[in-house]
Structure 1
Amino acid sequence: MPRQSGYTLIELIMVIVLLSIVATVSVRFVGLSTQGALDTSARQLRALQSVVISEQLTRDLREAFPLSIRSTGSCIEWLPMEAGTNYLNPPATEVNQIEIAEFAQSPAFNNKRVVIYGYGTSTGDVYTGANPGPVSSAVSGINNTASSGLPATISLSANHRFDTTSPAQRLFLVGEPVSICQSGRFLYRYSGYAPTSIQPDPPAVTPEVLAASVTGTVNFRFQPASLQRAAVVQFTFDLVSADGSETTTVSQEVQIRNVP
């Protein structure tokens, strides 16, 4: 009778054990690789969010009238500059019309006010529009076309006296205030509300969501202009992952162009 070859029970058990070890290591390797890919994707997403948020904040702040910026730490407010031009005759007395050089493009004038210079006044004065003061009453109309020897003009809703003149005879149109404020894990943008002498924190209007994964405390800092540099806004905040295990810190400085 020929001899038959085969596997012993011990050999089968050893093969099963070895295959189990290989399967366990393989599953663990695949699991770690998958988790690593998911973590990397989440970090990239937070990095992209931080870039988008920082860019929007930077673009908004670069449009700010520099003397209007004020901050409470977790909330920053400013008046956006809508347009600028030169006035032709210094308004030395109360006026309801200002002669100007034509705007490159005629701006909308609803809820706009005229600012001339304003250095040396408090930030609150820029918001309240005291008379006399650097900020006019509301603009009621703009004639942006010079004709028959008559210049373009800006009409005001009430007489106003500007307390200073600009060395470069510059004037600017500013719009309604804009605020960025933190509330819990959200960063909100507020607009379309009336200016007040004291900064609201936050304004009493319905906001837009700017960011929804903020952790900790957002910090806005404003450094006024000096003879050596322009004004600077610094902001820092952290974005947290969905499971709360990782954070991405965002820190940026925005230079605010000063205007005479």
Structure 2
Amino acid sequence: MRLKRGFTLIELITVIVILAIVSLGVFSFVSIGTRIYVDVTKRDQILSEARFVMERLSRELRRAVPNSIRISDNYRCIEFAPIAWSSFYEDIAVSPEPATDEIELASLDGYQREMNDRVVVYPLEPEHVYLAGDDHNVPPAADPVSGNTLTLAFAHQFATDSPASRLYIGRQPVSYCLLGNNQLTRHTGYAYRDVQSESPSNAGIGPGVLMANYIINDPLDANDRPFRLESATLNRNALVQLQLRFELNEELVVFNSEVHLPNVP
């Protein structure tokens, strides 16, 4: 006669406890692995955004009209006028000469006009680029280019000649602004303004395009400002210092870049 065998209560409880411990260990291992993966993914996202915005901004600044770069009084926005075209002129109307709306250039081959394009000659400071009025803008309607003759919107007198007879056509301004929600946005599609705005909300320059998140710079701290401009000296051209601090999940990444501006008036 065979004896019937089975688990005792103690054996059953022991097995359940062992399975629970093993399951807890496996869950913890998977949880830690998942957390590490998520953290690495977010870190890569921050690094990608940071590299992209630093490279994009640096390239655009190098292509800016000389002395068109300006930083707002609260250090949250940097603005500049991209170069649409540059050439040498034969002659321009300089006060007290009569104003004229035509300029003879060495070449205009390849120039494609856009809204708010502006002619700039020998700009020594931002005020020379962002002058109020549009009499030295390229007209948006009709074709302003005939051969090597550039026609302005209205007759205009320039403040001074360029020693090298160099002329720039600036595209509509571009602004990069650090918002209060730790986002960096790019704004364009607006007209030239003599007074720079301290924020997009009261500037009429539109909502902008998001370029980066998680930027925690404090512009009120002189050592933590995202944008700094150093004017040209006898020994070097002007340069812009960029410092963006990114933070996510208490992990800090700092990007610094020094952009040398090759263009001269």
Q: TM-score, normalised by structure 2?
A: 0.78
Per mean C-alpha deviation after superposition, the further-off stretch among 182-191 and 211-220 is 211-220
Q: Give 1:138 shift.
A: 2.0
Give distance in 2, aligned partners of 1:259 and 1:79. 14
Give distance in 2, aligned partners of 1:212 and 1:259. 30
Cα–Cα, structure 1 residues 96 and 174, in superposed 2: closer, same or farther, change >3 Å?
same
Q: Which one-letter code corresponds to 2:191 in the other structure? A: A
* Contact 1:69–1:78 (CA under 8 A) maintained in structure 2: yes
Give distance in 1, aligned partners of 2:162 and 2:127. 20
Per mean C-alpha deviation after superposition, the further-off stretch among 88-97 and 169-178 is 88-97
Length, aligned pairs only: 246
* Contact 1:64–1:78 (CA under 8 A) maintained in structure 2: yes
Secondary structure (helix, strand or coil) at the match of 1:188 reads strand
Per mean C-alpha deviation after superposition, the further-off stretch among 6-15 and 232-241 is 6-15
Higher strand share: 1
Give distance in 1, aligned partners of 2:149 and 2:115. 15
Give distance in 2, aligned partners of 1:179 and 1:46. 22
* Contact 1:231–1:256 (CA under 8 A) maintained in structure 2: yes
Give distance in 2, aligned partners of 1:225 and 1:173. 21
Alignment of 1:1-260 (within 5 A): 13-72=13-72, 73-89=75-91, 91-92=93-94, 93=97, 94-108=99-113, 110-119=115-124, 122-128=125-131, 137-140=136-139, 142-145=144-147, 152-185=148-181, 186-202=183-199, 203-211=203-211, 213-217=213-217, 219-241=226-248, 244-260=249-265
What do you get for the CA RMSD once the two structures are aligned? 2.9
* Contact 1:184–1:214 (CA under 8 A) maintained in structure 2: no
Cα–Cα, structure 1 residues 136 and 79, in superposed 2: closer, same or farther, change >3 Å?
farther
Q: Which one-letter code corresponds to 1:127 in the other structure? A: Y
Where does structure 1 lack aligned partners over 5 or more consecutive residues?
A: 146-151
Cα–Cα, structure 1 residues 193 and 3, in superposed 2: closer, same or farther, change >3 Å?
closer
Where does structure 2 lack aligned partners over 5 or more consecutive residues?
A: 220-225
* Contact 1:114–1:136 (CA under 8 A) maintained in structure 2: no
- Percent identity, please: 34
Cα–Cα, structure 1 residues 112 and 5, in superposed 2: closer, same or farther, change >3 Å?
closer
